[in-house]
């Protein structure tokens, strides 16, 4: 492709010289045309102005590229005042026609083509109304034609769009038209360095930055109006919550020598260490071993029913938490230079946090910036009878089960997401009779149907009774029996149980620590912009409380942006990058994903090709009796560029890392294929998937000729 473009450029240059066209592009020739035009303009000023105006309207109304050049031309041809009037009205009328066209005629096509950008615009309009459009006009985050089209799909009135656009584009138009007038004044090429022209181009470059600063100041002034800013601060940064997001935020702040206080109300390490990733993976390991013992005959050993003390299994889970605890401890963070405070934090004004210490006293600290990293808590569905059902959640089950001698006998797991699925399989493998209740058609609904099916088949083989399309209605007690009443296809299905775990999702912690009084906007999570700033630009949010992902590694990733922007945002701000986010569900088979899967690609209207490699064919997986699963890669049609990867299989979460690296650094499947992978490893599956892609894209015609060449070489 690059060679073709190069050839075309060479051909074009040759043509220009062959036909002496370059003489038309000299400054003298352009000046001559301008003189000719001025003569025509003097004879019929209205006609010339009218034609230019109409052409400008058409260009903007039909989103034809060239409006910026026409604005410069308006300055050159008509001068500053007349050029400004012409462009200002023509651009607004054209933009409004594009807006109306998108709203009434092109809705579906605009939606299909740019739909994923509409979300940001819709959210902006909902938050700030016409002021949002004004800011977009002043500081174009999106190209102007996109603003016209996408605004048409919002609920904004056409008249509001018109006047806000007219006003918002005015300053930018002045800068552009002025640059055009300066351009027209050049008499010789040395004039390019004339102070007037240089200044007008500097203005062109600087204008968006200055406009953005002004907008930011206006917004900040509005938000902070009712608060008094302290003259001095106790800290550079205060972090609320010592989970993954809070720990990493405060670590970074201390590493760059900022004075930082980290406040944790409950347990250092937050959910991941105490109630989430760590205990669940520890339990999964014991369950996997029990499963392997039961199926030891696959390895030529005698199969055995594992005999164990449940108390010992749960004690191991808590031992593992204890073994990892020092990584997140007060001692470690104090040693790193973080001031760790154990207590409950409440934000009382944009710079002040009140701390109710665990020891009983109360104190206040001020900081230039605050990072909210308060995490999320399990959702408990408001079902009748749930309060007396003895329900457990990820917050409570680890301590509750640690007290028990016996494994839960009949266990209901409400919810078919990753957490519910991991727990359901682990308890089934240990020996509980597990019923998993899911409202939807399948579990792990974010994954492609074939992947959910794979997980479901394996979990069913382990004895999990997966009930999909079952709606939990209420809990009842019938004598000693606890019963969950569900509805399936219009019929009542009763499920008797001894224990029930609610795993129907996790909701961000949004109340009880000052967000309401400050008016910090929330919508399921704390609302932030791309810099993780909340409504108050000095208050940031990261981790589960900010969403949209609920993973430890994403919390840590966001923490970097929150703390760096909090400490250095006045110099340079960084937009949080969600382009390559991996995750894994640790069922057996593990399901790991990065980027798009098929259902996402279809939903977003993105063209793709699928390549599959069956792990059942992989030497190492066969040797380990783990020969099941798939590597599924989505690529741009005809190219090796990776759009997304799903791996289902043993250690899928680890195997995925190679694709995460490839996507992050723009490496295609050819590069993976060209990399040596150690034999015999599971990681070879990635290379073989790349090989499948290569085979499907082999140059068939060339191979026919190669065949003929070799036949000829035989003599």
CB atoms within 10 A of CB 445: 15
* 262 lies in the site for ligand FAD, by CB under 6 A: no
Q: Contacting ligand FAD (CB under 6 A), which of 168, 270, 417, 629? A: 270
- Residue 101 or 270: the one with the smaller Cβ distance to ligand FAD is 270
Q: Contacting ligand FAD (CB under 6 A), which of 150, 238, 239, 272? A: 272
CA distances from 67 to 53, 55, 57, 94, 143 (A): 12, 10, 9, 10, 11
Strands of 373-470, DSSP E: 376-378, 410-414, 433-437, 465-467
Q: Kindly write out the interface string for residues 539-568 of this chain, putting x where it contacts ligand FAD by CB under 6 A and - elsewhere.
A: ----xxx----xxxx-x-------------
Length of the chain: 715
- Residue 136 or 272: the one with the smaller Cβ distance to ligand FAD is 272
State in angstroms the smallest separation of the CB of 395 from ligand FAD: 8
Q: Contacting ligand FAD (CB under 6 A), which of 263, 287, 443, 541? A: 263
State in angstroms the smallest separation of the CB of 432 from ligand FAD: 17
Q: Which stretch binds ligand FAD (CB under 6 A): 244-252, 565-573, 617-625, 668-676?
A: 244-252
Using DSSP bridges, classify how beta strands 362-372 and 235-240 pair: parallel, antiparallel or unpaired.
parallel
State in angstroms the smallest separation of the CB of 555 from ligand FAD: 4
C-alpha 335: how far from chain center? 33
* 277 lies in the site for ligand FAD, by CB under 6 A: yes
Instruction: Give the burial string for 641-654 (b: 16+ CB within 10 Å, else e).
Output: bbbbbbbbbbbbbe
- Rounded to whole angstroms, the Cα distance separating 531 from 534 reads 9
State in angstroms the smallest separation of the CB of 346 from ligand FAD: 6
- Residue 376 or 669: the one with the smaller Cβ distance to ligand FAD is 376
Q: Cα(first)–Cα(last) distance of the chain, in Å?
A: 37
- Rounded to whole angstroms, the Cα distance separating 291 from 405 reads 20
Q: Which stretch binds ligand FAD (CB under 6 A): 48-56, 265-273, 426-434, 641-649?
A: 265-273
- Residue 248 or 633: the one with the smaller Cβ distance to ligand FAD is 248
- Residue 375 or 644: the one with the smaller Cβ distance to ligand FAD is 375
Total residues interacting with ligand FAD, rule: CB under 6 A: 38
Q: Which stretch binds ligand FAD (CB under 6 A): 14-22, 42-50, 367-375, 661-669?
A: 367-375
SS3 407: coil
- Rounded to whole angstroms, the Cα distance separating 19 from 11 reads 12
Question: Where is 366: in which H helix or E strand?
Answer: strand 362-372
- Beta bridge partners, 541, equal 372
* Window 579-608: residues binding ligand FAD (CB under 6 A): 586
* 344 lies in the site for ligand FAD, by CB under 6 A: yes
Q: Contacting ligand FAD (CB under 6 A), which of 52, 176, 275, 310? A: 275
Using DSSP bridges, classify how beta strands 491-497 and 499-502 pair: parallel, antiparallel or unpaired.
unpaired
- Residue 558 or 635: the one with the smaller Cβ distance to ligand FAD is 558
**Alpha helices (runs of H) in 256-329, residue ranges in sequence order:** 270-274, 277-294, 310-324
- Residue 45 or 512: the one with the smaller Cβ distance to ligand FAD is 512
State in angstroms the smallest separation of the CB of 343 from ligand FAD: 7
Q: Which stretch binds ligand FAD (CB under 6 A): 6-14, 56-64, 271-279, 561-569?
A: 271-279
Q: Which residues touch 664 (CB under 8 Å, ≥6 apart)? A: 579, 580
Instruction: Give the burial string for 565-580 (b: 16+ CB within 10 Å, else e).
Output: bbbebeeebeebeeeb
* Window 314-343: residues binding ligand FAD (CB under 6 A): none
- Residue 254 or 545: the one with the smaller Cβ distance to ligand FAD is 545
Q: Does residue 93 come out as left (phi exceeding 0), alpha (psi in the -120 to 50 range) or beta?
A: alpha
State in angstroms the smallest separation of the CB of 240 from ligand FAD: 5
- Residue 166 or 552: the one with the smaller Cβ distance to ligand FAD is 552
Evaluate whether 647 touches 592 at the Cβ level (below 8 Å).
yes
Cis amide bond preceding 680, omega within 30: yes
Q: Kindly write out the interface string for residues 373-412 of this chain, putting x where it contacts ligand FAD by CB under 6 A and - elsewhere.
A: xxxx-----------------x------------------
CA-nearest of 204, 207, 138 to 168 is 138
Q: Kindly write out the interface string for residues 213-242 of this chain, putting x where it contacts ligand FAD by CB under 6 A and - elsewhere.
A: ---------------------------xxx
- Rounded to whole angstroms, the Cα distance separating 378 from 507 reads 6
- Residue 240 or 484: the one with the smaller Cβ distance to ligand FAD is 240
Burial of 359 (0-12, 13-18, 19+ CB in 10 A): exposed
- Residue 369 or 394: the one with the smaller Cβ distance to ligand FAD is 394
State in angstroms the smallest separation of the CB of 438 from ligand FAD: 17
Using DSSP bridges, classify how beta strands 362-372 and 539-541 pair: parallel, antiparallel or unpaired.
parallel
- Rounded to whole angstroms, the Cα distance separating 489 from 439 reads 11
* Window 478-517: residues binding ligand FAD (CB under 6 A): 509, 513
Six token digits for residue 582: 């991996």
State in angstroms the smallest separation of the CB of 590 from ligand FAD: 10
* Window 33-62: residues binding ligand FAD (CB under 6 A): none
* 635 lies in the site for ligand FAD, by CB under 6 A: no
CB atoms within 10 A of CB 695: 9
Q: Contacting ligand FAD (CB under 6 A), which of 91, 280, 389, 486? A: 280
- Residue 85 or 348: the one with the smaller Cβ distance to ligand FAD is 348
SS3 200: helix
Six token digits for residue 8: 């075309």
Six token digits for residue 527: 């609302």
Q: Which stretch binds ligand FAD (CB under 6 A): 37-45, 140-148, 197-205, 268-276?
A: 268-276
Residue located via tokens 């670590």: 251
* 266 lies in the site for ligand FAD, by CB under 6 A: yes
State in angstroms the smallest separation of the CB of 579 from ligand FAD: 18
Six token digits for residue 208: 């968006």
- Residue 354 or 624: the one with the smaller Cβ distance to ligand FAD is 354
CA atoms within 13 A on the CB side of 150: 22
- Residue 71 or 558: the one with the smaller Cβ distance to ligand FAD is 558
State in angstroms the smallest separation of the CB of 552 from ligand FAD: 4
C-alpha 513: how far from chain center? 26
CA-nearest of 507, 526, 506 to 516 is 526
- Residue 36 or 523: the one with the smaller Cβ distance to ligand FAD is 523
* Window 419-458: residues binding ligand FAD (CB under 6 A): 419
- Residue 620 or 651: the one with the smaller Cβ distance to ligand FAD is 651
CB atoms within 10 A of CB 180: 23
Q: Contacting ligand FAD (CB under 6 A), which of 74, 174, 245, 430? A: 245
* 345 lies in the site for ligand FAD, by CB under 6 A: yes
* 75 lies in the site for ligand FAD, by CB under 6 A: no
Binding site for ligand FAD (CB under 6 A): 240-246, 263-267, 270-272, 275-277, 280, 344-345, 373-376, 394, 419, 509, 513, 543-545, 550-553, 555, 586
């Amino acid at each position: 492709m690059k060679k073709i473009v190069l050839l075309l450029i060479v051909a074009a240059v040759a043509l220009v010289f062959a036909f002496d066209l370059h003489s038309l592009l000299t400054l003298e020739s352009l000046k001559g045309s301008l003189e000719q035009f001025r003569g025509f303009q003097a004879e019929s000023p209205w006609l010339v102005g009218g034609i230019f105006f109409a052409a400008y309207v058409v260009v903007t109304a039909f989103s034809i590229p060239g409006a910026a050049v026409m604005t410069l031309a308006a300055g050159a041809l008509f001068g500053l005042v007349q050029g400004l009037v012409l462009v200002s009205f023509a651009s607004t009328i054209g933009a409004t026609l594009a807006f109306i066209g998108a709203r009434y005629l092109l809705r579906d096509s605009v939606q299909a083509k740019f739909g994923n950008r509409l979300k940001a615009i819709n959210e902006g309009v909902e938050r700030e109304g016409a002021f949002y459009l004004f800011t977009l006009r002043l500081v174009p985050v999106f190209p102007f034609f996109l603003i016209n089209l996408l605004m048409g799909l919002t609920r904004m009135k056409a008249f509001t769009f018109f006047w806000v656009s007219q006003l918002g584009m005015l300053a930018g138009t002045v800068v552009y038209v002025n640059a055009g007038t300066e351009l027209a004044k050049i008499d010789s090429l040395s004039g390019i360095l004339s102070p007037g022209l240089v200044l007008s181009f500097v203005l062109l470059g600087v204008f968006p930055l200055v406009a953005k600063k002004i907008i930011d100041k206006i917004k900040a002034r509005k938000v902070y109006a009712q608060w008094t800013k302290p003259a001095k601060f106790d800290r550079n940064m205060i972090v609320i919550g010592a989970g993954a997001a809070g720990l990493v935020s405060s670590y970074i702040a201390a590493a760059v020598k900022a004075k930082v206080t980290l406040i944790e109300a409950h347990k250092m390490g937050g959910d991941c260490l105490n109630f989430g990733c760590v205990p669940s993976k520890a339990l999964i390991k014991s369950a996997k071993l029990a499963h392997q013992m039961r199926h030891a005959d696959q390895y030529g050993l005698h199969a055995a029913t594992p005999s164990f003390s449940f108390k010992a299994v749960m004690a191991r889970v808590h031992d593992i938490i204890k073994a990892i605890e020092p990584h997140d401890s007060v001692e470690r963070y104090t040693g790193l230079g973080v001031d760790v405070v154990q207590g409950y934090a409440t934000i009382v004004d944009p710079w002040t946090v009140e701390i109710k210490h665990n020891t009983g006293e109360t104190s206040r600290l001020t900081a230039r910036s605050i990072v909210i990293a308060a995490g999320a808590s399990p959702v408990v569905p408001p079902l009748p009878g749930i309060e007396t059902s003895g329900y457990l959640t990820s917050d409570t089950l680890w301590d509750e089960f640690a007290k028990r001698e016996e494994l839960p006998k009949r266990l209901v797991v409400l919810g078919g997401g990753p957490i519910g699925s991991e727990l359901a399989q682990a308890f089934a493998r240990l020996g509980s009779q597990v019923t998993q209740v899911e409202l939807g058609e399948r579990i792990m609904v974010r994954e492609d149907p074939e992947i959910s099916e794979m997980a479901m088949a394996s979990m069913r083989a382990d004895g999990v009774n997966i009930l999909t399309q079952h709606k939990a209605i209420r809990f009842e007690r019938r004598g000693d029996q606890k019963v969950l009443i569900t509805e399936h296809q219009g019929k009542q299905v009763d499920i008797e149980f001894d224990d029930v775990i609610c795993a129907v999702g996790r909701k961000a912690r949004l109340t009880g620590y000052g967000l309401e009084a400050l008016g910090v906007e929330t919508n399921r999570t704390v609302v932030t912009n791309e810099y993780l700033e909340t409504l108050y630009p000095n208050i940031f949010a990261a981790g589960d409380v900010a969403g949209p992902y609920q993973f430890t590694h994403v919390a840590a990733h966001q923490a970097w942006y929150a703390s760096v922007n909090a400490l250095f945002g006045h110099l340079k701000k960084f937009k949080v990058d969600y382009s390559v986010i991996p995750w894994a569900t640790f069922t057996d088979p593990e399901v790991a994903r990065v980027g798009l899967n098929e259902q996402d690609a279809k939903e977003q209207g993105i063209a793709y090709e699928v390549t599959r490699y069956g792990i059942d064919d992989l030497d190492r997986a066969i040797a380990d009796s783990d020969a099941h699963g798939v590597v599924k890669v989505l690529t741009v049609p005809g190219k090796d560029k990776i759009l997304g990867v799903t791996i289902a299989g043993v250690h899928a979460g680890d195997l995925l890392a190679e694709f995460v690296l490839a996507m992050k650094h723009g490496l295609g499947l050819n590069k993976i294929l060209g990399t040596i992978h150690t034999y015999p490893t599971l990681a070879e599956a990635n290379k073989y998937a790349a090989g499948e892609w290569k085979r499907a894209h082999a140059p068939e015609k060339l191979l026919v000729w190669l065949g003929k060449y070799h036949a000829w070489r035989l003599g």
